[in-house]
Amino acid sequence: MTTRNKAEKFIELANKRVNKALKDLQLIGNLANRQNYEFTDEQSKKIVRALQQEIDIIKQCFQRTDEIGRNDFKL
């Protein structure tokens, strides 16, 4: 794959994946509606902490090429 093709593929996948991630984050944000859902402060903190940890890992991925371990999220 040429450098141009790699760049084009990166842009194509980044657009799709980032837009999907943003939509999913908005759906997660909907869970904060206490009229529709019941949850504890600890549960909400756990969600935010998991999301922030993954954002931190993504930042590291773009800064270096080492493989970084990920954890599955569960309440």
DSSP for 1-62 reads --HHHHHHHHHHHHHHHHHHHHHHHHHHHHTT-TTT----HHHHHHHHHHHHHHHHHHHHHH
Mean pLDDT of the 58-63 span: 91
The confidence score (pLDDT) of residue 74 equals: 81
The model's confidence at residue 4, banded by pLDDT at 50, 70 and 90, is confident
70 and 47 fall within a common domain = yes
Give pLDDT tens digits for 5-46: 999 999 999 999 999 999 999 999 999 999 999 999 999 999
Cβ-based neighbour number of residue 39 at 10 Å: 13
1 and 21 fall within a common domain = yes
Counting the structural domains of the chain, the total is 2
| pTM of the predicted protein model | 0.78
Q: Which domain holds residue 22?
A: 1-30
The model's confidence at residue 67, banded by pLDDT at 50, 70 and 90, is low
Give whole-number Cα distances, 56 to 8, 31, 41, 63, 70, in Å: 25, 22, 22, 11, 11
